[in-house]
Amino acid sequence: MSLTDAGSRAWLREDDCSLDDFRSLVGQRTDPRDHPSAERVEQNVPVYDSDRLRERAGTPEGRRSVQNELVRALLDGPGIVVLERAFTDLTVVDRATDAFTALIEEERATGASRGDHFGKPGANDRVWNALGKMAARQPETFADYYANDVLALTAEAWLGPAYQVTSQINVVNPGGAAQQVHRDYHLGFLSRERAAAYPAHVHRLSPVLTLQGAVAHCDMPVEAGPTLYLPHSQKYEPGYLAWRRPEFIAHFEEHHIQLPLRKGDAVFFNPALFHAAGHNRSAGIKRMANLLQISSAFGRAMETVDREAMVNALYPVLLRRKAEGVGEEWLRNVVAASAEGYPFPTDLDLDPPVDGLAPPSQADTLWQAIAEGWTPDRLRQELRAGATHLQS
């Protein structure tokens, strides 16, 4: 939907919420012809083989064609895609799982309670800012994990360059209850009253500032409670005012879909899609997912991340991997997942745009260091100087 559709309302009210209108939207069937790169459409969701996507995206024209298809699916289609075998080397996933499990045990030992936006605190295991914590503790594993080309392909398709990755680990233990249905960040984290204070064009803008995703760190049969989704619900304009209403909750409960995943699969969805983590009814599956919330360079990410510390921890790994012969795309994917790619806000007196319209970003500085083989100490000094400009 355009931000300036003719006849669109300037402000939305809760009274605008119509279950009949919503029902007609979510009753649509996903046409496989709209998703020619998909292997199949399952429960209204296009399912892609990641190796086939990699092959199709092997040229600049092919990459753009694949990204166009992903954008259409997330925006005007069902609002969700499944990428099977996003990680073909499952040893990388297992190493990340070990790192995440160590973080869970470390934080559990402190006795700290980890809240949940839409679930009962303490019922399951959650690690906030898993991105920064893994980079600091396991930089080799971080680099191998976030060099993933399918994650980068999808994030760039929805958000463009300079996207900001954040990551939270969620483990739903056997017996763990389902979340309540919701929409996600930004407007999804506001009360109905606060959301209604924003004009309608902001309701249409909010979903394109964030990409929601998850990587399966174990096999997730339906009994383990993989996420519940309602395809096409992201297209309902007053949805940020509707998702708490009893009649919409009841419709979700009756009509949601649930897709099993295998370890290494990834799912990405529009944050405005009605969804909720499922109830883990299994006897012994600790359902672990790496929840990826990836933000536009032009928005505000949900979590604060010490990207300077991440870059300093990762830089020796990147230098070593470059010397060992990894490709430029591998390196750039890791840079994109770790360094700040947007140079604003900054103090333009101290950080003027000498050679263009903008000063260099943290990612620009890191890439220059990789290209020129700076010492870690020189990069550390340059990053500190840049951070000083931002904090002035």
- Of 237, 272, 295, the residue that ends a domain is 295
Residues 317 and 203 both lie in one domain:
no
- Of 243, 270, 295, the residue that ends a domain is 295
Q: Give pLDDT, residue 121.
A: 56
Q: Give pLDDT, residue 2.
A: 45
Residues 87 and 199 both lie in one domain:
yes
Q: Give pLDDT, residue 3.
A: 45
Residues 286 and 317 both lie in one domain:
no
Our measurement of the distance from residue 379's CA atom to the centroid of its chain's CA atoms, rounded to an integer in Å, reads: 28
Instruction: Specify the pairing of strand 45-49 against strand 80-84.
Output: parallel
Q: Is residue 6 part of a domain?
A: no
At 268, which helix (H) or strand (E)?
strand 266-269
Residues 68 and 140 both lie in one domain:
yes
CATH at residue 44: 2.60.120.620
Burial class (CB in 10 A: 0-12, 13-18, 19+), 280: buried
Residues 328 and 274 both lie in one domain:
no
Residues 76 and 47 both lie in one domain:
yes
- DSSP H helices in the chain: 19-26, 50-56, 60-75, 90-109, 130-137, 139-146, 149-159, 192-196, 200-205, 239-242, 246-255, 307-324, 328-338, 362-372, 376-391
* Sign of the CA dihedral running 125, 90, 167, 185: negative
Please count the CA atoms within 13 angstroms of the CA of 159 that sit on its side-chain side.
35
Residue 65, classed as helix, strand or coil, is: helix
Residues 236 and 340 both lie in one domain:
no
Q: Give pLDDT, residue 94.
A: 98
Q: Give pLDDT, residue 271.
A: 98
- Distance (Å, rounded) from C-alpha 343 to C-alpha 163? 12
- Distance (Å, rounded) from C-alpha 215 to C-alpha 208? 20
Residues 233 and 346 both lie in one domain:
no
The CB-based long-range contact list for 323-329 (8 Å cut-off, 24+ gap) reads 326/147, 329/149
- Of 269, 295, 321, the residue that ends a domain is 295
Residues 113 and 226 both lie in one domain:
yes
Exposure letters 156-167 (e unless 16+ CB within 10 A, then b): bbbbeebbbbbb
Structural domain count of the chain: 2
Residue 201 and residue 4 in contact, taking contact as beta carbons nearer than 8 Å: yes
Q: Give pLDDT, residue 8.
A: 67
Write out pLDDT tens, residues 307-331: 999 999 999 999 999 999 999 999 9
Domain that holds residue 99: 14-295
Ranges of the chain with pLDDT below 70: 1-8, 112-123, 354, 389-392
Angle between helices 60-75 and 149-159 (to 10 degrees): 60
